[in-house]
Structure 1
Amino acid sequence: MDVIGRSDPFAILYTRTREVAFAKRIGGMEGVGTRSGSGRSGSMAAMGEVKGRVPGEEGVAEGAETGAEESAKLHRRKSLPAQTQTHHGRQDGFGGGAGGGKMLSALELGWVEVGRTETIQNTLCPRFATSFDMAYFFEKSQEIRVELYDRDAKSEKLSRHDFLGSAETTLAEIVTARGQRLCLELKDETKKLRRKKDLGSVSLLAEEVAGLKMTVSLEFVLIKAKFRWMARKAPFFRISRAREGNEWVVVYTSKVPRANRQGPEVAFKTLKISTHKLNNGDPARPLKVEFFNRSSNGQHILLGSAETTQNLLVEHPGQPIPLIRDRKVVGSFKAVKTSVKREPTFLDYVFGGCDISLLVAIDFTASNGDPRKIGTLHFNDPHSPNEYELALNSVASTLAPYDSDGLIPAYGYGAKLPPNNVVSHCFALNGNPARPECNGLDGLMLAYRQALNNVTLSGPTVFSQILALARNLASEALTQTRQQYTILLILTDGIISDIQSTAQEIVLASSLPLSIVIVGVGAANFEAMEFLDADDKPLSSDGRAMKRDIVQFVPFRRFMNAPGRLAEEVLYEIPHQLLSYMQDHGFQPNPPTESPPNGSQVRTQPENESAVSEGDNEGELLPQPSLNKAVTAPAIQSPVLDTIDQGRPRYPQFPAFVPSE
C-alpha cells in the first residue's frame, strides 16, 4: 500500500563484466553470451552458467603493473521519493538482487553481488557509510547495478522486503563523471510500484584506493661470495607476500640480467611496483625473496631465500640480508637505490579531465567481398551485424564513456565515391568531411551502414592517409590544463599496399599523444599487421626509430565468440601508453573536477536506453562542431544526398539503421 512515511533503506551493489551483446542494438539476433574466468565476472544473455570473482583482500589481480588495473572505491548516496511502498506504515530500504522475489533476480541476469550497505533507520535521504573495493579495468565494460529495498524484516531474503527501485550504469561512466559523482534516476522494473514517476535518485561516487598511487623502487644485488659455482649460471629472483594461513602469493618475478654475471655481485634491473600489489598497502607485511638459477626445463634450482619487509628494505639500503637454504646461510643479497614515492596513475589523468578521443577508420576495399553476398565481411544484412560491426561495437562501446563530447570522427578508405567513382583512401562515413563526427555509438553504426549503401568497394588498401589525418589531429597543442589523448581504431581485412609509408607515419606518430589499434577482420594473411605491431623489433624509417610502442594488433576471429574480450585485448596497453606519453613530456594530472551541485544533473534511464526512435532519427545526426584540424578528404556526393541545418548530412532515401530489441 502507498502511504506517506519514513524509510529504513539499504542498498546492494552488483557488477558484471559484459561481453558486448548486440541484441539490443540490431534486431533479429539472440543475445551474445559471455565467458567467465579467474577475476572476471560476466553477464548471461543467452548462455547458461556465469561465474565471477569479486576481489576481496587481494583487491587487484596479480601481474598488472601498467596501470590498466586500478581499484576504485565506491560510495553510495540515495534520495528516496516522498511516497513509496510501505509496510505497516513504515519503510525499510535496502538494496539487493541475488535473492528471491517475484521479479527475475539479478543472479539470473548474470549479476554478481559485491556487497550490501547498512540499513539506515527512519529516513528519506540516506547517506550510506558502507563502501566497496572493486578492481578497475580500462579495457573492460564493467556494468554496475544498484537495487534499493525497504527493510521489513531481519531476513536477508529479498522477497521479505519492498522493492523501491534500481539503477544501472558502468564503472567507466562513474569515473569519468564530473567529480566522479554520477546521479542516476531510479526506475521500477517490476511495474508494480503505484508511484511510477519520481522514484528518487541514487548517487554513485568513486575514488581510487590510495595505496595504488605509491610506488616502491628497489634494485637488488646478489652477493656471490658463496655462489662461485654458479658464475656462468642464470640467476633470477621472485618476491611473494604473506597471506593468512601461512600462504604466499607471488607478486613479482625478475628477468635474468644480461650483463655483469661474472663478477662478485649480480645487479638486477630496478623494479617498480605499487605498494598495493607488493604488500596490499601494509609496509610491515612479511615478504619472501627467493633467488633461483634458471633451468631450460623449468625445474629452476633454489639458491636461497629470505623473509623481510618493505620497511626493512627501504630504511636500510645496502645492508646484506642472509639467504637461507636447508636451514643454512648460503649467501646474501642487498637492496640498493630504494625509494617510495607517489606516481601518477591512469585514473589521476581521467579524474583530472584528460579527454580520451576515439577516431575510427574502416576498410572498404573489394577484398572484403560483395556486401550483398552472405558470408562476406561487409554483408549488408538488415537484421544481423557483420564482422565489422561486431568488432566496431566491442571496442567503441568500451571507449565511448571516456570521450567528453561523445562525438566520434569516422572515416572509410579504399572505396569509390559517387557520382564520379573516384577511389578515396580517406572519406567521412557520414558524407561530410567538414563534420565527420558521429553522435555516439549509435550514430557511428548508422553512418557505417549508410556509407556501405552509398559507396563501391574498391582498392588498394592504403593506411598512410588515415594515419596522416590522425597524426594531424593528435598534433594539436597540449597544455597542462588541456590534456587530450587520441586512439585511432583501424579495421582492416589484411594486406596493405603502402607498408613503407605506413611505417613512416607510425614512426612520426610515436612522439604524439596517440595510440593505434588495428583489428584484423576475416581470415586473411595478417603478417604485415604483426610487423606494424613491432612487439619484437621497433619500427624505423629514414634512420629514425619510433620513440615508443603505440601500435596494438589483434585478429578479430580469435575472439569471435566473445567480442567483449576483443576490447580487453586491444585496449589493455592504452593506460600504459597514455602514462608514458604524459610523463615523458612533463604533463602532470590536473586536480579532480568538482562534483555538480547536489541533486543536479540526474541522468534518466529510459526503459530501452539503446533504442532509437525511427521518427526521432531518420538517418540524421545531431549538430556537431567541426574538428579544429582535418586533412581534406573527398565527400560522398550523390543525387540522394541532402543537407539541412547548416550542412548537417541527411540521407532521406536510405533505410534508417534503427537499433531495436
Structure 2
Amino acid sequence: MFQRGHWYEMGRTENVKNCLDPKFSRCLEVDYLFEEVQKIRVGVYDIDNTTVQLDDDDFLGQVETTLGLVVSNSTFSQPLLLRNGHKAGNGTITIRAEEKAESKDICQMTFKAKKLDKKDFLGKSDPYLEFSRACSDGTWQVVHRTEVVRNNLNPSWRTFQLSSQTLCNNDRTRPIKIDCYDWDNDGSHDFIGGFTTSLDEMAQAVTGREISWPCVNPKKKAKKRNYQNSGVICLSSIKITKEHSFLEFVMGGMQINFTVGIDFTASNGNPQQPTSLHYISPYQPNEYMQAIRSVGEVCQDYDTDKLFPALGFGARLPPYQSVSHEFPINFNPQNPYCQGIQGVLDAYANCIRNVQLYGPTNAAPIIEHVSRFAAGAQREEASKGAHSYFILLLLTDGVLSDMGNTRQAIVRASSLPMSLIIVGVGDADFSDMNMLDGDDGVLRGPSGEPVKRDIVQFVPFNEFKKAKDNAATAAELARHVLAEVPKQVTEYWRMRGVSPKAQRPT
C-alpha cells in the first residue's frame, strides 16, 4: 500500500505450489477509508526458496489500482503488467473484496472421510479438503485447505479452526462448499467429489453426534446410472466459541512481561572497533540498541512497573572469565531487572565494556529461563485468570549453534503464555533461521513433536535499513516483529479456555 510517499508491504498470501491458475485462500485485511485515495499494488512472484525477501524470486507481474476501485467492483479483474507497463504474457489477477462483519466466533472442526475413490494408479488417493464460501457474484472463494493425508481412502484430518467471518462472513445460512481432492505432486490435483452445506447445518455435529454428507462428483454421476457417491465426508465434531480480542485481555488487566536476550559471541567483532556490531558510537546507536529500543518502547506500555530483565549469552564474565549463556547484563543475579528501556540500554553499554565476547551461540538457555517464569504464571491462571504474558526479544548475529535444543525449547514454550521475537543483527546468512518461524505446527522438535501454536517471529534487521533515518527503521522493525503478537496472545488464552476479566473502569 502507498503511504507517506512510499510503498509498504501489508501482507502476503500463501504459496500455491506447481499451479498456473492458483486460487489463494489467505485473506488480507485492509482499513478502508472513504475520504482517502488508497493506492494498492498487488505483485505476483514465483517462489522456490525459503528466504523472506522477494528480490531473489521470479517476478510474474503486478497490478496497481486503488482500494476504492476494488471495493466498488464486485469482482475486480485486470491483466498483470510488467514494471515497464507492458503486459506480462496472458496473466490476469482477480480480487474480491468484502466488508468484514464484526464477529468473535471461532469454529473448531474435525473432519474425516470413508471409502473415497481411488485416484492413483499405483496407490491409494492422497486426499485433502478445500473449503469455499459463496460470493455475492455467484462465484466461490477458497478460504481454507486441510493438510494432505497420504495414501489413505479413509483419512482423518487434523482438527483446525476458522473464524465464522472467514468461513461464511458471519452468515450462518450462507452456502459453504467442501470439495475433496487427490493431491498430485505436479499440481494437477484430481477432483474426488464435494457437497454444499452451511454453518447452521454443521453446528448440528455436537459432541457425540457425527454428521456426514455424500461426496459427489457430478461428472461421474452424469455418466454412471447407478452412481451414488465417491465416498462420505464426516464432521466428527464442531465447537463454536467466542473469540476475545487482544484489547479485551489488555483492558482486563493482562500484563506483558518483556525480556531481552543479547548475543555476546565473538563473531560480533571487537566492540572497540567501528566494524563491530557491538561498537557504541557517540553519533548513532548500533543495531542491537535500535532493536531493543524500537520493540521495547512498544511493549513497555503494557507493563505497569517498567522493570525488564535483560540477559546475555556467549560471553566470558569477570572475574573468573567463565563462559555463560544465561547471565544478567547488569551483573546482579538476584535482581536482573532494568528500570525502563533506557535502563536496559545503559546496562548493555556497561556490559559490553566488561565482558569478553566468546561463544558458541547457544540461545536455548535464555528461552528456557523465560519459559520457567511463564510456566509459573500458567500455574496461577486458575486463581488469577489471564494475568501475565511473556515476550522474549532475542538478538543474535548468526545462526544458532544449538539449533536442536532451541527447537526443543520452542516446542515446550509453545504451550506457555509466551512469544519469541528473534532479530538477526548484521549481514550474515539467516536463511536457516526461517525454520524456527513456522506456522500451524510446521516447526517440530528434534523428536518430531510439533509446536502447540506458532510463537516465533524472525526477521533480519538488514531488511529495514532502507529507511532514511533510524526512527523510521525502528518504527518499521517494531511494526513488523510485533504484528503477530496480538494473535499469539488470543490463541494462547483460547487454547487454555481462559477469558479476560471484566474491563477496568476508564
1:281 counterpart = 2:170? yes
Determine the structure 2 residue equivalent to 1:352: 252
Change in 2 beyond 3 A, CA 1:324/1:338 = farther
Amino acid at match of 2:396: T
Determine the structure 1 residue equivalent to 2:278: 378
Change in 2 beyond 3 A, CA 1:538/1:385 = same
The one of 293, 299, 318 equivalent to 2:212 is 318
Cα deviation per residue 1:607-636 (whole Å; 9 max; x = unaligned)? xxxxxxxxxxxxxxxxxxxxxxxxxxxxxx
Distance in 2, matches of 1:252 and 1:546, equals 21
Distance in 1, matches of 2:415 and 2:178, equals 38
Amino acid at match of 2:446: L
1:479 counterpart = 2:376? no
Determine the structure 2 residue equivalent to 1:91: none
1:554 counterpart = 2:458? yes
Distance in 2, matches of 1:294 and 1:546, equals 23
The one of 130, 145, 155 equivalent to 1:253 is 145
Change in 2 beyond 3 A, CA 1:285/1:489 = same
Aligned runs of 1:233-248 on 2, under 5 Å?
Answer: 233-248=125-140
Which structure carries more helix by proportion? 2
2:141 partner SS: strand
Determine the structure 2 residue equivalent to 1:63: 26
Amino acid at match of 2:199: Q
1:277 partner SS: helix
Taking structure 2 as the reference length, the TM-score comes to 0.64
Aligned runs of 1:65-80 on 2, under 5 Å?
Answer: none
Question: Quick check: 1:506–1:546 contact (8 Å CA) kept in 2?
Answer: no
Question: Quick check: 2:195–2:213 contact (8 Å CA) kept in 1?
Answer: no
Question: Quick check: 1:223–1:266 contact (8 Å CA) kept in 2?
Answer: no
Which of these two proteins has the greater Rg computed from alpha carbons? 1
Taking structure 1 as the reference length, the TM-score comes to 0.51
Question: Quick check: 2:459–2:481 contact (8 Å CA) kept in 1?
Answer: no
Distance in 2, matches of 1:228 and 1:442, equals 64
The one of 337, 341, 359 equivalent to 2:240 is 341
Distance in 1, matches of 2:281 and 2:435, equals 33
Give the deviation of 1:279 after TM superposition. 0.6
1:538 counterpart = 2:445? yes
2:504 partner SS: coil
Distance in 1, matches of 2:39 and 2:310, equals 34
1:318 partner SS: strand
Amino acid at match of 1:369: G
Determine the structure 2 residue equivalent to 1:594: 504
Give the deviation of 1:337 after TM superposition. 2.5
Determine the structure 1 residue equivalent to 2:296: 396
Cα deviation per residue 1:67-104 (whole Å; 9 max; x = unaligned)? xx9999xxxxxxxxxxxxxxxxxxxxxxx9967xxxxx
More displaced, 561-570 or 282-291?
A: 561-570
Give the deviation of 1:350 after TM superposition. 3.9
Question: Quick check: 1:304–1:325 contact (8 Å CA) kept in 2?
Answer: no
Distance in 1, matches of 2:194 and 2:415, equals 43
Question: Quick check: 2:119–2:182 contact (8 Å CA) kept in 1?
Answer: no
Change in 2 beyond 3 A, CA 1:558/1:285 = farther
1:211 partner SS: coil
Distance in 1, matches of 2:185 and 2:435, equals 28
Aligned runs of 1:125-136 on 2, under 5 Å?
Answer: none
Distance in 1, matches of 2:406 and 2:233, equals 47
Aligned runs of 1:69-108 on 2, under 5 Å?
Answer: none
Determine the structure 1 residue equivalent to 2:20: none
Change in 2 beyond 3 A, CA 1:340/1:582 = closer
Question: Quick check: 1:556–1:566 contact (8 Å CA) kept in 2?
Answer: no
Determine the structure 1 residue equivalent to 2:91: none
Distance in 1, matches of 2:304 and 2:175, equals 44
Amino acid at match of 2:103: G
Aligned runs of 1:235-634 on 2, under 5 Å?
Answer: 235-258=127-150, 260-261=152-153, 266-315=155-204, 317-320=211-214, 322-325=216-219, 328=222, 331=229, 333-345=232-244, 347=246, 349-415=249-315, 425-430=325-330, 432-453=332-353, 455-463=355-363, 465-476=365-376, 477-480=379-382, 481-482=384-385, 483-494=387-398, 512-524=416-428, 535-540=442-447, 548=452, 552=456, 554-557=458-461, 559-561=463-465, 574=485, 578=489, 582=493, 586=496, 588-596=498-506
Amino acid at match of 2:177: K
Distance in 2, matches of 1:559 and 1:452, equals 25
Question: Quick check: 1:369–1:378 contact (8 Å CA) kept in 2?
Answer: yes
**Higher relative contact order, chain-length normalized (CA < 8 Å, sep 6+):** 1
Amino acid at match of 1:237: L
**Where do 5+ consecutive residues of structure 1 fail to align?**
1-35, 37-41, 54-60, 73-95, 100-106, 113-207, 597-661
Identity %: 30
Give the deviation of 1:246 after TM superposition. 2.3
1:256 partner SS: coil
Give the deviation of 1:357 after TM superposition. 1.3
Give the deviation of 1:400 after TM superposition. 3.5
Distance in 1, matches of 2:326 and 2:39, equals 42
Determine the structure 2 residue equivalent to 1:147: none
Question: Quick check: 1:522–1:557 contact (8 Å CA) kept in 2?
Answer: yes
Count of residue correspondences: 408
Change in 2 beyond 3 A, CA 1:389/1:581 = same
Give the deviation of 1:488 after TM superposition. 1.9
Determine the structure 1 residue equivalent to 2:54: none
Question: Quick check: 1:355–1:404 contact (8 Å CA) kept in 2?
Answer: yes
Cα deviation per residue 1:47-83 (whole Å; 9 max; x = unaligned)? 5456879xxxxxxx9638xxxx9999xxxxxxxxxxx
Aligned runs of 1:189-228 on 2, under 5 Å?
Answer: 211-215=103-107, 217=109, 219=111, 221=113, 224=116, 227=117
Cα deviation per residue 1:565-600 (whole Å; 9 max; x = unaligned)? 75576556656665665566x55113332322xxxx
Distance in 1, matches of 2:295 and 2:343, equals 15
Question: Quick check: 1:471–1:512 contact (8 Å CA) kept in 2?
Answer: yes
Question: Quick check: 1:521–1:555 contact (8 Å CA) kept in 2?
Answer: no
Distance in 2, matches of 1:289 and 1:504, equals 36
Question: Quick check: 1:220–1:270 contact (8 Å CA) kept in 2?
Answer: no
Change in 2 beyond 3 A, CA 1:49/1:334 = closer
Give the deviation of 1:313 after TM superposition. 3.6
Amino acid at match of 2:389: Y
Distance in 1, matches of 2:190 and 2:436, equals 39
Change in 2 beyond 3 A, CA 1:556/1:495 = closer
Distance in 2, matches of 1:48 and 1:532, equals 30
Give the deviation of 1:342 after TM superposition. 1.0
